[in-house]
Structure 1
Amino acid sequence: MANKEQLAILKQGVAAWNKWREENPDAKIDLRGAKLDGLDLSGANFRKADIRGANFRNAMLVGANFNESILGIETGTVNVTDFTCSELTGVIFDNGFVEHVSYLFSGYRDIRFSYSILNYTS
């Protein structure tokens, strides 16, 4: 379950989120199962975030940073991290664990998965 405080900050917008991330660089980011569908999160810093089971369906994520993040199935659930119909141009997934992730009908170009583990993605 997502950290409610972190989720509230993220829903204030990318500027507020990225500022909070800069001010709290050691915070453990827990957005597991978060409902983020339809939001414009372009340029958001999700570095080292646990976003297993999060719903990014129809979200704008241009240039978002998911470097070293954990994506996929949330423990004990069947929910996958869902990027269906999302805009993922320029997104960084470096050094991450990417498993059971859906990218169906997403717009993506210039995505980086350097040194990431990719399993069961569609």
Structure 2
Amino acid sequence: MADQHHLFLIKQGPLFWNQWRQEHADVQPDLSEADLNDADLVGVNLSGTDLTRANLKGAILKRADLRWTDLTQAVLARANLTGACCTEANLIMSDLTEATLTKTSFSRASLYGAKLGEADLRGANLSEVDLYMADLREADLRGANLYMADLREADLRG
């Protein structure tokens, strides 16, 4: 369950949140199970944040810093993560259906069992990403870097 103070802070917007993160660099934010549906989080620093089972459906996370973030079972369907950095993030069993992930870096992230159906991954960095059993049906992977990505048992139809 999300820390209510952290939830209040993130709802103040990216500028307020990022300032708080700079002043409290030693704090690992807990936004697990938070409802951030359709939130405007452009450029937000969520690195190292616990967002397990959070609802980020339709959220705008362009250029967000999501390094080392735990997004296990998070809902990011139709979210926009254009240019976001998700390096070494944990997105196990997350829902990224129809998400815009153009030029997003997922290097060394885990997307084990993730739902990426109809996601726009054009130009995304998926190098060394765990996509084992991921659903990539109808996903647009044009120009994506899949160097050493684990695609075993991934569904790549369409």
- The alignment's TM-score, normalised by the length of structure 2, stands at 0.71
Matches within 5 A, 1:13-32: 13-32=13-32
CA displacement at 1:63 relative to structure 2:
0.5
**Partner in structure 2 of residue 98 of structure 1:** 91
Which is higher, the Rg of structure 1 or of structure 2? 2
**Equivalent-residue separation in structure 2 for 1:108 and 1:114 (angstroms):** 13
Which residue is 2:118 aligned to? none
> What SS is found at the alignment partner of 2:22?
helix
- Work out the CA distance in 1 between the residues paired with 2:62 and 2:110: 22
For residues 3-22 of structure 1, the aligned pairs below 5 Å read 3-22=3-22
Partner SS for 1:69? coil
Aligned to 2:91, the other structure's residue is in SS state strand
Which of 100, 110, 113 pairs up with 1:117? Answer: 110
Residue identity matched to 2:114: T
Task: Give the ranges of 4+ consecutive aligned residues of structure 1 lying more than 6 Å apart after TM superposition.
Answer: none
Cα distance in 2 between the residues matched to 1:58 and 1:96: 19
Q: SS state of the match for residue 111, structure 2?
A: strand
Structure 2 unaligned regions, length at least 5: 116-158
Quote the offset at 1:116 in angstroms.
1.7
In the alignment, what sits opposite 2:74?
Answer: 81
Task: Give the fraction of aligned pairs with identical amino acids, expressed as a percent.
Answer: 29
Please report how far the alpha carbon of residue 118 of structure 1 lies from its aligned counterpart in structure 2 after TM superposition: 2.3
Q: Which has the higher contact order (CA 8 A, sep 6+)?
A: 1
User: Which structure features the higher share of strand residues?
Assistant: 1
Q: Provide the residue aligned with 2:61 in structure 1.
A: 61
Q: Cα deviations across residues 88-110 of structure 1 (Å, max 9, x unaligned)?
A: 10111112222011111111201
Counterpart of 2:153 in structure 1 is none
Q: 1:33 & 1:121 partners in 2: Cα distance? A: 17
